[in-house]
Amino acid sequence: MKVSEAMIRDVSTIFEDETIEDFIVFCLRQNKSGLPVVDEEFRVVGFLSESDIIKSALPSYFSLLQSASFIPDTHQFVIRLGKIKDDQVSQHMVKPPVLIKPDDTVIYAADLLIKNGLKIMPVVDDEGKLMGIVNRIYLIHAATQGKIDR
Amino acid sequence: MNVLTVTLNPALDREIVVENFRINEFHRVKNPSYSAMDPGGKGINVSVILSGLGIRNVAVGFLGGNIGKVVEERMRMISDLITTGFVHVEEETRENIAIVDPLGDTITEINSSGPLIKPDDLRMFLRRFEVTLSRVRHVVISGSIPRGVDNDIYKTLCKKVTDTGKLAFVEGIGPAFEMAVEAGVVTVARPDLRSRKLIFGESLVDLNDYVNAAKTIIEKGSKLAILSYATEGDVIATQDGVWLFKTRGHIDRSHLLGTGDAFMAGVVHSMIENERDCFLAAKRGMSAAVAEAEYIRKELISLKDIDEHIDSFDIRELE
């Protein structure tokens, strides 16, 4: 089964110079956890997820802690979130993004999602322009339907 | 992607078939298939019909709330050839309710007004429109203008389209439609005369009024004008003349749903193949509309349907 058969053909996106607050509003309204970031040619140049926002607002030593309960002051986290809301998306996005093409297999897409700990992955054409997305639940659904090996 | 369709005020179309429908009476829908829910709004309808004709397209505009999510999801379920790229707004997308009575030969339509579009939403839409425009050749802009959007929006969008040498197909009514036509930035213009038969301040009463209105649209710079005339006819004007297309048999009003959008989709499909032949495009548009009129509900017509109906209406040269 190819990615083209399992992808969601939606090109909702955010631009590099739009703000974190714009991103949050977009995700809230569309019930999404992340969005592809594109340039003026519609090429995908990054990916921004809610996890990236949380990481940006946490102290840099958080990754060394075993549990969030070790964060000395959660209030600081909220203050940092307030400080980054006007930042540009490009300051917090993951780049280069993990991308897939419509002719790739769904097995390969699942492999990339699992290995990179992603929920959503942009699907691009040969010029790197956004065509849609694949997400975990669609791939899990395809697997339970026995379509993945087809 | 071949075509970009713009629906600024989409809707969830609820179509209910009720035999002998009467106001102020209790009705029960007899058959589950007589109560349908489809993505709607004129641009979206064209997207759906184009997908049935094998044309890959991207639909943009504004959606909001849970109804907006249903519209988007259902569009993508209809065909892999449809890509969505809507800006989501705070308020809920509207619902259009149509009560179709095949026995009484009536359609009763109730359309709600839709969400308020805020300046930030519009700014984000315009940027995404421009970027998406670079990926297509033809743009269909169709339907009503939501609250919060100025009447110059069609003109603004069409200018961006024609400035890049692409074709703008517009269906609408009122100041927004007229401003775009008067600016000479509309390639194919089809006034939506369902709610009022009035254009450029002139009421359309007899055939001569329709002919004059069609000629005015061409004089303003459009290549093709299409005006629905009576139930079974269309006045067509190009730079070469004016014609009346008329179906041979009677078409029940209950079968008219979606025929205008099928007309536009037929025109777009034809002009993708042959950009310059506007008369042929009008013929194929009419053929698509006649094919669509065979169904009581909005159905996906095929290219075969268009080919089969190409001679099923009369053409009379008026000027």
Please indicate, yes or no, if residue A118 is contained in any of the structural domains: yes
| Residue A11 pLDDT greater than 60, yes or no | yes
CB contact under 8 A, B124 and A8: no
Alpha-carbon gap, residue B257 to B248, rounded angstroms: 19
CB contact under 8 A, A11 and B84: yes
Cβ-contact B220, B182 below 8 angstroms: yes
Total tally of structural domains belonging to chain A: 1
At B193 the pLDDT is: 87
Which candidate, B57, B56, B128, B55, places its Cα nearest to that of B88?
B128
Residues in chain B closer than 8 A to A41 (CB atoms): 131, 134
> Which DSSP symbol is given to B147?
B
At B232 the pLDDT is: 76
At B254 the pLDDT is: 58
Cβ-contact A135, A106 below 8 angstroms: no
Which candidate, B191, B297, B201, B174, places its Cα nearest to that of B234?
B191
b/e for B119-137, b at 16 or more Cβ within 10 A?
eebbebbeebbebbbebbb
Tell me the one-letter amino acid at B52. G
Total tally of structural domains belonging to chain B: 1
Please indicate, yes or no, if residue A50 is contained in any of the structural domains: yes
Among left, alpha and beta (phi > 0; psi -120 to 50; other), residue A96 is: beta
Cβ-contact B247, B228 below 8 angstroms: no
| Residue A149 pLDDT greater than 70, yes or no | no
| Residue A65 pLDDT greater than 60, yes or no | no
At A146 the pLDDT is: 76
Alpha carbon of B160 to those of A69, B69, B133: distances in Å?
54, 28, 9
At A1 the pLDDT is: 87
Cβ-contact B209, B201 below 8 angstroms: no
CB contact under 8 A, B85 and A8: no
Dihedral sign computed on CA atoms, order B55, B56, B57, B63 = positive
H or E, element range at A114: helix A106-115
pLDDT exceeding 90 applies to what percent of chain A?
Answer: 61
CB contact under 8 A, A11 and B132: yes
CA triplet B269, B271, B275: central angle to 5 degrees? 160
CA dihedral angle for residue A9, residue A14, residue A16, residue A19, rounded to 10 degrees: -170
Residues in chain B closer than 8 A to A8 (CB atoms): 76
Report H helices in chain B.
42-52, 65-78, 119-133, 153-163, 175-182, 207-219, 259-273, 278-292, 303-308
Please indicate, yes or no, if residue A109 is contained in any of the structural domains: yes
Mean pLDDT by 10 residues, chain B (319 residues): 94 91 91 87 95 96 95 94 97 92 88 92 96 95 94 98 96 95 97 87 92 96 94 91 89 71 96 93 95 77 93 91
pLDDT in tens, B6-47: 999 999 989 899 999 999 999 988 888 888 899 999 999 999
CATH of the domain at B239: 3.40.1190.20
**Cβ–Cβ contact B61 with A under 8 A:** no
pLDDT in tens, B187-233: 999 999 887 888 998 899 999 999 999 999 999 999 999 999 887 78
Q: Is the ipTM of this complex over 0.95?
A: no
Please indicate, yes or no, if residue A19 is contained in any of the structural domains: yes
Please indicate, yes or no, if residue A149 is contained in any of the structural domains: no
pLDDT in tens, A87-145: 999 999 999 999 999 999 999 999 999 999 899 999 999 999 999 999 988 888 877 87
Parent domain of B162 = 3-317
At A34 the pLDDT is: 95
Of the partner residues A11, A18, A38, the one whose CB lies closest to the CB of residue B58: A11
Please indicate, yes or no, if residue A150 is contained in any of the structural domains: no
Cβ-contact B176, B41 below 8 angstroms: no
Parent domain of A51 = 3-144
Of the partner residues B83, B88, B90, the one whose CB lies closest to the CB of residue A30: B88
Alpha-carbon gap, residue B234 to B225, rounded angstroms: 10
At A66 the pLDDT is: 57
Collapse the DSSP code of B20 into the 3-class scheme (helix H, G, I; strand E, B; otherwise coil) and give the result: coil
Dihedral sign computed on CA atoms, order B85, B90, B92, B94 = negative
Which candidate, A98, A89, A91, places its Cα nearest to that of A120?
A98
CATH of the domain at A133: 3.10.580.10
Of the partner residues A4, A30, A42, the one whose CB lies closest to the CB of residue B131: A42
